[in-house]
Amino acid sequence: MSTVISIICAILIFCVIVVVHEFGHFIVARKCGIDVKEFAIGMGPAIFKKQGKNTLFTIRILPLGGYCSMDEDEEAVSENSFRSKSVWRRMAVIAAGAIMNLILGFLISIVTLLVAQQYTTNIVAEISDGSGCQAAGMQVGDRIVKVNGLHIFTANDIIYQLRNDEDGVLDFVVVRDGRKLDLNGVKFQLTVDEETGERVLNYDFKVYAKKLGAADLLPQAGNKFCYYSRLVLLSLKDLITGKYGLNNLQGPVGIVTVISESAQESGFDIGFLLEIAMLISVNVGIFNLLPLPALDGGRLVFLIIEAMRKKPMKPETEGMIHFAGFALLMLLMLFVTFNDVKNIIK
């Protein structure tokens, strides 16, 4: 029963993120005087339809995405068509979906803090005797602001750098009594996990947890949002540079599986589920802004080119490019979905 509940929970989270994204396109299009032919949640055959004044609202059988149907690839035929509007209004409509996902991510970060009623700082609370941190001169009360050149927003940034270090030697920048100090070559002990064979870096210090105050809420929510946004960007960089392969990618099936498994392992802890929802929402927002055909970012590129050229590209040409990008995206989605299913079976 818990498995069924966790899967339903995962699908609901994924659907909410999709609805928010498509609602961003929809509401800005309406504000700009653009007709939206269909507002769809899910893919495949429709299981629910409701005709609004100018828009058909549908829920489709596969909860794997959604779309707002306008006339982006058609010639302007009326004053309410997409292509009849200024390039800046069209850019606002296209960017609105991703921006809504980023806003949702920030709002979720606020909720997670309100649920936890505390947050972990970057201030050193304890240092192990005889450790490399102690030898390098780290002291209780030091505020860690950089690790290996990476600016620290949250304690999770510190953990990220420690886990991704290769040799167990890191450079820290701390603030002590208002002064920045460089602690270079801080050595951490490395051990090997007997079960997995993975290298494990032993943490030689702890940081303070602090009770959430009213003045802390927005700054800490911003820090949390920045952490997750940068985590997504760093992951994309690692994918492009070959650190991660295509086998590491996950599609909707994999995402739902991860949420489902995490829900069960956490005992359906609301704070933990919100953290996952925040990461996925930020991920969707950033990914959709990538300048690739068929994505919102790709459409923005064409609109920027139009603004520079003072004339639009032929709809047929742009449509073909987006279709090619969409076809490649679908092939990638099929590959990723196959891997997701294969991993579930394993």
Which residue from 227, 213, 232, 222 is spatially nearest to 288, judged by alpha carbons?
Answer: 232
Q: Which residues contact 189 (CB under 8 A, 6 or more apart)?
A: 131, 132, 168, 201, 202, 204
Mean pLDDT of 217-223: 95
Q: Lowest-pLDDT range, 200-204, 218-222, 292-296?
A: 200-204
Chain segment 235-249, per-residue pLDDT in tens? 888 777 766 665 655
Q: In this predicted model, which residue has the larger pLDDT, 245 or 232? A: 232
Structure tokens at 7: 């899967």
What is the reported pLDDT for 318? 76
Instruction: Please provide the average confidence, as pLDDT, over all residues in the chain.
Output: 83
Burial 229-242, CB ≥16 within 10 A → b, else e: bbbbeeeeeeeeee
Residue 157 C-beta-side C-alpha neighbours within 13 Å: 23
Q: In this predicted model, which residue has the larger pLDDT, 203 or 30? A: 30
Chain segment 99-122, per-residue pLDDT in tens? 999 999 999 999 999 998 999 999
Residue 193 reports pLDDT greater than 90: no
Confidence of residue 22 (pLDDT cuts 50, 70, 90): very high
Structure tokens at 195: 């079960």
Confidence of residue 275 (pLDDT cuts 50, 70, 90): confident
Q: Which domains does the chain have, with CATH numbers?
A: 1-35+71-114+279-345 (no CATH), 118-211 (2.30.42.10)
What is the reported pLDDT for 110? 96
Residue 310 reports pLDDT greater than 90: no
Chain segment 317-334, per-residue pLDDT in tens? 777 877 777 677 666 666
CA distance 213 to 225: 18
